[in-house]
Amino acid sequence: MVSGGGGSAVALAPGRLADRNFKYYMIFPAVLVILLIGLFPVIYTLIISFQNLTMMDEDTSFHGLMHYRALFEDARFWESLLHTFIFVAVALPAELLLGLAMAYLFLERLPGRQIFVALLVLPVVTSPIIAGATWRLLFDNQFGPINQILGWFAGEPVPIIWLVDPNFVYPAILIAEIWQWTPFMFLLLLAALSNVDKSQTEAAELDGASFLRTFRLIVLPAIWPVMAIAVLIRALDLFRLFDVVWALTRGGPGTSTETISIYAYVAGFQQFETSYTAAMAFVVIVILAVSITLVLRRLEIDR
C-alpha cells in the first residue's frame, strides 16, 4: 500500500556499452532542468545574501553577515514567522481532525458515496488564489452571505468586517484554508481507513474495547503511514502559505497576517531589497531543511 524506496529488482541486465550508459542518458535532461530550482536558487541566494544589492544598486562587494544580523533584529521578520506558525498550528490539526471525522462518516456503505466523494474533492483542485477570491466575496460585510447567515442565528444584523477587524481576520483566513484542504485529508484518510482490517476492529469491539481504545491501538497504527505523509505534505504547504492570504488580506491589516512567504515577496519585489530578501530566503531554506530532516528521522524511528 505504501510505496517505499528501492522498488522492483534490477532485472534488465546491462549489455553493450551504449546500453550501459542508457540509464544515465535517461536521467540527464531531467536533472539538468531540476537544477534550475534545486541547486541554482540555493547557491545564488547564498552568494547575494553576502553582498549589498538592491534592485537599483549593483553593489556586489562582500558584506559578510550584515543582512543576517539585520534579519535577526527585524521584528517584522520574526512576526511573519510567528504568523506562519499560527496558521500551521491551527489549520493542520483542524484539517486532520475534520478530515478524519468526515472519513468515518463515509467509511461504511452509503448510497451515492462515489458522488459525494467526487463533489467533496472540488475545493482541493481549485486554484488557491481563486479559493481566496471566492472567500473574499463570501466574507464581504455588506454583500456577502456569511454575515447574513450569522444574522439569522443572532436575530439581528451582524456587521463584522471580516478582513479588516483584527479579531476576525485570522478566523477568516483559517476558514478559507481549512475549507480548501480538509477534503485532501478526508480523501487520504478515507483510503487509509478502508484498508484497515475489519476483523480486528470488530473483534476489539466484541471484547468491549471503547472506540477510542480501538482507534488508538488498532486503527491508528494501520493508518499511520498514510496519515504521516498527509500531515507532512500539508505542513510543508502551510509553511509556505501565500495565495489565500494574498487574495484575502495581502498580509494586512497592516502586517498582522503577513506570512514569511508574503514578507519575502514584499521585501524582494516591493521594497527591492535584493540582498536582504536573499538572506531571508536562505534562512527559510535552512529552517525547512532542518525541520524536514528532524521529521523524517522521527518517522524513521517510529517505523
Partner 1 sequence: MRADKGTGLALRYVAAVAVTIVFLFPIYWLASISFKTPDEIFASPPAWWPEQIQFANYAVLFKDGDVVTIWNSLVIASVSTVCAMLLGTMCAYSIARFRTGGNLFSDWIISNRMIPPIVIVFPVFLLYVRLGWVDTYIGLIVLYTAFNLPYVIWMMRGYIQDIPLELEESALVDGCTRWQVFWKVVLPMARGGLFATAVFTFVFAWNEFIFALVLTRSEVTTFPVQVTHYFGGQSNFWAKIAAMSMLGTVPIFIAVALLQRFLVRGISLGAVKG
Is residue 163 within 8 Å of 139, Cβ to Cβ? yes
Angle (CA) 261-88-285 rounded to 5° is: 45
Give the binding range for partner 1 (CB under 8 A) out of 61-69, 89-97, 113-121, 205-213.
113-121
For residues 183 and 99, the answer to whether their CB atoms sit within 8 Å is yes
Judged by beta carbon, residue 124 or residue 161, the one nearer partner 1 is: 124
Among 71, 87, 91, 128, binds partner 1 (CB under 8 A): 128
Whose CA is closest to 187, among 88, 106, 90? 106
Stretch touching partner 1 by CB under 8 A, among 66-74, 86-94, 198-206, 221-229: 221-229
To partner 1, the closest distance from the beta carbon of 3 in angstroms equals: 5
Contact pattern from residue 224 through residue 263 relative to partner 1, giving x for each residue in contact according to CB under 8 A and a dash for the rest: -xx--xx--x--x--xx-xx--xx-------------x--
Instruction: State in angstroms the smallest separation of the CB of 165 from partner 1.
Output: 17
Pairwise CA distance, residues 167 & 86, whole Å = 14
Residue placing its CB nearer to partner 1 in the complex, 7 or 208? 7
Confirm or reject binding of residue 1 to partner 1 (CB under 8 A). yes
Written as one string, the DSSP assignment of 48-72 is HHTSEE-SS-EE-S--TTHHHHHHH
In angstroms, the CA 78 to CA 30 distance is: 37
Asked if the bond preceding 253 is cis, omega within 30° of 0, the reply is yes
Total length of the chain: 303
C-alpha cell at 103: 472519513
Candidates 119, 154, 203, 220; binder of partner 1 (CB under 8 A) is: 119
Q: Looking only at residues 13 through 42 of this chain, which bind partner 1 when binding is defined by CB under 8 A?
A: 15, 19, 22-24, 26-27, 29-31, 33-34, 36-38, 40-41
Site for partner 1 in 148-167 (CB under 8 A): 148, 151
Strands (E), the chain: 52-53, 58-59
Q: Which of 76, 82, 127, 203 binds partner 1 (CB under 8 A)?
A: 127
Answer yes or no whether residue 191 interacts with partner 1 by CB under 8 A: yes
